Structure 1
């Protein structure tokens, strides 16, 4: 039942402040889910005091890692006997970190024009019910497909919003939707060979 960029299960998502229901699932909201993941990671770090146990708990759950640390009499997930998926998770994260820091060292050779560019957006606030997201999208000069692509947290064709909660809807800038008119930038010079 894990979902979204950070693979939260519904109960953990709600525990860390994300809305999850049939209309809205903020596990799919990149910014909100990332902030929730950071809260989880900080909480786990204050509990364990080392990042390897934090990473293991992210994959296997704090309850399970806490229980295994105690049962196996160690203080670090590096020293735990765990199921393969969780045991490998720590090393997969470390591997990705090393690759992202220096991709050329590991055989990734990209030119700057091969990188995907971030697509700039404008934000429209919604604090009323939306009867039909398709109509709403057309009223904002986009189509339903683009609305859903840039707002994956929208999970239904309407939004009852009985409480008047404010939602931020992202609308991509038209000039960024075509690669030829996008602004070009490179986040890290280590990622490219030119």
Structure 2
């Protein structure tokens, strides 16, 4: 075979290979690639509540505002807070008994002021539904400081302290909470501000350029505050699940032996 014929054959072979490569490339780029779901990161704008692994199927919430999805730090703090309030940890049914008496008074007042019902758990976290005075001077189930109490219409001083009046102090709390919501446009942040004060919370928001409570770095007490509210809500609404057996529950009928005892 002559050199000219060999060259022509070689060129034809190369041309065929090039055409095949081009066709193959066209097929590849005309096909939409499919990746395993685990490689696709999608975060919906309306975040759903995260669910700890051991509570799959359970939804946790506060005033219908959402926790970041699949956030290990959030899940850990929530589970830790719930664990702290289990019966085997606190060994007490007092909160259930007091909630049974006080919630029917607190709930309609919250509703009248347009405050989410979940705020009824604030007194449980703030004071354990006790009426004692804190070292800083806060008093009553809503733990009002004297100056704040007067600002929202409560009489404090001269032998009178309306912070101890459940109805009046709840009305004052509603006014304060509604004002906080108007400032932060978030019930979760309103709850945090109730604990820490609006000035300190606003500073933290500006400094961190972040207004999602669950993504903020706050002091220890305020940083765990909303988690405590959610935990208290879970414990009060599902007492038997967390080891509380001899309890009152405004959501359920009293246990038979409690009726007999009374």
Both proteins in one fold, TM over 0.5: yes
**What residue number does 2:230 align with?**
94
Higher strand proportion, which one?
1
Match status 1:32 vs 2:168 = yes
1:5-27 deviations in whole A, cap 9, x for unaligned?
11111111111111111311111
5 Å matches for 1:150-169? none
Structure 1 unpaired stretches of 5+? 116-185
Q: Is the 8 A contact 1:52 1:78 kept in 2?
A: no
5 Å matches for 1:76-91? 76-91=212-227
Match status 1:18 vs 2:154 = yes
Q: What TM-score results when the alignment is normalised by the length of structure 1?
A: 0.57
Q: What TM-score results when the alignment is normalised by the length of structure 2?
A: 0.43
Q: What is the root-mean-square deviation of aligned Cα atoms in Å? A: 1.8
**What residue number does 2:185 align with?**
49
1:2, 1:27 → 2: CA distance?
9
**What residue number does 1:188 align with?**
251
Compute the displacement of 1:77 (Å).
2.0
Higher helix proportion, which one?
2
Work out which structure has the larger RCO, using CA pairs closer than 8 Å and 6 or more positions apart in sequence. Answer: 1
- The structure that has the greater radius of gyration is 2
Q: Is the 8 A contact 1:53 1:78 kept in 2?
A: no
**What residue number does 1:105 align with?**
241
**What residue number does 2:144 align with?**
8
Count of matched residue pairs: 120
Query: Hey, which bits of structure 1, 4+ residues long, moved more than 3 A?
Result: 191-194
